[in-house]
Amino acid sequence: MGPGRTVRPPRNAPQSQGQHSGSTSASKSRKVRGINKGKGLERLIKRAGHPLNLTISEERRPIGENNELLSREIGLLTRYHAPIQRAGWHSLTEDDKEPLYELLKLKFNLDFTQDHIKGCVDLLFSSSYKSFRHKCYEHYVKSGDDARSNPYPPLIDNRVGDWIWLCDHFETEEFKKRSTIGKANRSNLPYVHKKGTKSFVAVQHELNCGDIRLYKECYSSDKKGWASEDARNKHEEMLQKQKEPIEEGEVPLTEQQICEHVLGKAYGYVRGRGHGPKPNRRAYSSASSSTQHVVEELASTKEIVATQQTQIEAQQSQLEAQQKKIDWLQSVVSNLVGISPPMDGTSATGLGFTTERPMPSDGIGMQHINLNYFWHFLFTENTCSILPFIKHSNFCHRFADI
């Protein structure tokens, strides 16, 4: 036997009592991951001498080094410091959230004046708050009739009142209705990803890969395989779509377009990308703006048309009223002078009179000429002056002998 080598007992040899009891003890005391208390993060901060730096993408997700530590710390703050007696994270005011943000800034260097950073933190808190409330509900259901006297562990110390409030909340009809709807929606999920707390954006940043490989990394694992057979089939369809020959002059599809074709479109998010990039709404925004502009122009045009129609109707009424006055004046004058007015009411030519006609020598012709001139003056030059003119006594004397 060479030096340094040990003799192993045969595989079927009986073990000694000490060895057997030791292995049994080890199997019973197998360590599992406990509740996160942030000790690892505190060691990193102590080693660095300052809060940790983070990179937040424009898609509002932490990427790069320390990205998973952020979501873990937010989970810890949610469990032990977030207000419980609220309908949900959306019900918390800025005053409720501010202490949580300040505690988080003790551990991470975050600039909340930047919208994408504050949006990222708010999104992670919302997800963590929802997850914590769900765990509280699971504990409530599991405890049965003893639920009120058996608080969820993070709420045992000085937060029993919050637990009692939660028990009352879980028994409301509104919560039961929402719980039923949520359960039905979750049952419709064909499969779930296998990346835990790590975001898809962070995975893609680490691997520097395209969308097709990202889909495989997030929905499969080396140990457990694919999340479902459907997920495997969709990935194979993506690969086949990527290998399809391209005709001359045709632009090849991007990986994002291939994934969208295979997975389908969804409103508000991109399928297969988790809480990350949002659909490009520029086209939707442009179309919406154009539609709004057309609607506004149409409304303005309708308003102008309505105003013009009102003005036309008013003018028509005025014309009709004036025509009635003219007809009345014509009848009055006709009765006074005993001669019918011109046929058109505005011109002496209706009686066949022209200025080129030679002047008659008899008095009767002159009277007709004077009368036609009067009609022309009356209805073309100064119609409004007829009433005082009629009232004047000389008018009657002037035409009395006609």
∠ CA 143-144-148 to the nearest 5 degrees?
Answer: 70
Residue 80: partners with Cβ closer than 8 Å, 6 or more residues away: 154
Read off the tokens for 335.
Answer: 């009765």
pLDDT of the residue at 335: 74
Give CA–CA dist 168/165, Å, rounded: 5
Q: How far is CA 178 from CA 101, 104, 169, in A?
A: 29, 31, 12
pLDDT digits (tens, 9 = 90+) for 42-55: 888 888 888 888 88
Residues 116/63, Cβ–Cβ less than 8 Å: no
Give CA–CA dist 68/401, Å, rounded: 118
Read off the tokens for 334.
Answer: 């006709």
pLDDT of the residue at 34: 58
Q: Is the pLDDT of residue 395 over 60?
A: no
Give CA–CA dist 66/313, Å, rounded: 76
Single-letter code of the amino acid located at 169 = H
∠ CA 208-38-150 to the nearest 5 degrees?
Answer: 120
Residues 136/78, Cβ–Cβ less than 8 Å: no
Residues 230/262, Cβ–Cβ less than 8 Å: no
pLDDT of the residue at 138: 94
Q: Is the pLDDT of residue 226 over 80?
A: yes
Residues 377/320, Cβ–Cβ less than 8 Å: no
Give CA–CA dist 281/288, Å, rounded: 10
Q: β-pairing, 220-221 with 225-226? A: antiparallel
pLDDT of the residue at 133: 93
Higher-pLDDT residue of 36, 379: 36
pLDDT of the residue at 143: 93
Give CA–CA dist 323/83, Å, rounded: 81
Q: Is the pLDDT of residue 302 over 80?
A: yes
Residue from 346, 385, 352, 356 nearest 368 by CA: 352
Query: Mean pLDDT: which of 26-40, 96-110, 230-244, 339-353 is highest?
Result: 96-110
112-126, 164-178, 191-205: the lowest-pLDDT one: 191-205
Give CA–CA dist 214/207, Å, rounded: 8
